[in-house]
Amino acid sequence: MKLYQTYLSPFPTRVRLSLYAKGIEFEVIEPPGIHDDTPKGSYFDVNPIGRVPALELDDGRILPESEVICEYLEDAFPDPPLLPKDPWARAQVRLLSRISDIYIVMAMLPLFNVVATPPKSWDQAKISSQLDEIGEALSFLEAYIGKEGYAVGRSLTHADGALLPILQLVDEWLPIFRGPNLWTGRPKTEAYWRTIGNDPICARLIDETRTALQKSMGRG
Ligand SMILES: N[C@@H](CCC(=O)N[C@@H](CS)C(=O)NCC(=O)O)C(=O)O
């Protein structure tokens, strides 16, 4: 298989979690123009949406959208399962991914645009209001995140793939804005982030994202 992706983007991380956990071999292709204004060119033939990730199967069929790819991999390669059997627990996995995508990532998006501009031009009031919005979204997560070492229950699920890279941004990237400590008042979420790296697959994903993040912040 081929995975069109970048290590900086949080969305392909959840797909890599599935591929690593299920032991599926894949080649990484980094398309142009994902984090800069380089033309995307023929990448639109791969994925008309123009975003990463996209997964190309060995027979040439290509699937975009991280959540859809993970569901496909789950159906096509059920072992080991990354969705619990119990319907309620399955719903919790989907709920945590949804909270991450709809509330946390959406609140972060304006800050991705801010960092693309020189720090002298940063609108501090806008930054502060986005950080408040991210804090509010993290409180939604706090209400549902598991306390047994993983996002849901005692084993790896799709929810870990969704949450890991986002909480890593909270911990390792948001401090550049010098806002409040967003872990304060969210002990379950902080405990999850501090311990999830004990899982070897999560540790590998955290390392990959950290390398990309540090490079993007000019520290790589
Ligand atoms: N809903 C998509 C979101 C993917 C996405 O927004 N990826 C960003 C990178 S973080 C991207 O490819 N951006 C390129 C662009 O918008 O031009 C998914 O889950 O796969």
Each residue of 8-21: pLDDT tens digit?
999 999 999 999 99
Each residue of 194-204: pLDDT tens digit?
999 999 999 99
**Predicted pLDDT at 217:** 87
Sign of the CA dihedral running 165, 168, 170, 175 = negative
- Average pLDDT of the chain is 97
**Predicted pLDDT at 78:** 98
Assign residue 139 a region (left: φ > 0; alpha: ψ between -120 and 50; beta: otherwise).
Answer: alpha
Q: Whose CA is nearest to atom 12 of ligand 1?
A: 51
- Give yes or no for a contact between 2 and 50, defined as CB atoms under 8 angstroms apart: no
CA 119 to centroid of ligand 1, rounded, Å: 24
CA 210 to centroid of ligand 1, rounded, Å: 19
pLDDT over threshold 80, residue 219: no
**Predicted pLDDT at 73:** 98
Catalogue the long-range contacts made by 50-54 (C-beta closer than 8 Å, 24 or more residues apart).
51/11, 52/4, 52/5, 52/6, 52/9, 52/11, 52/12, 53/3, 53/4, 53/5, 53/9, 53/11, 53/12, 53/15, 54/3, 54/4, 54/5
pTM of the model: 0.96
**Predicted pLDDT at 220:** 57
Each residue of 29-78: pLDDT tens digit?
999 999 999 999 999 999 999 999 999 999 999 999 999 999 999 999 99
Pocket of ligand 1 (CB under 6 A): 9, 11, 34, 50-53, 65-67
Domains in the chain, CATH or no CATH each: 2-76 (3.40.30.10), 87-216 (1.20.1050.10)
**Predicted pLDDT at 218:** 85
Q: Whose CA is nearest to atom 13 of ligand 1?
A: 51
Each residue of 99-116: pLDDT tens digit?
999 999 999 999 999 998
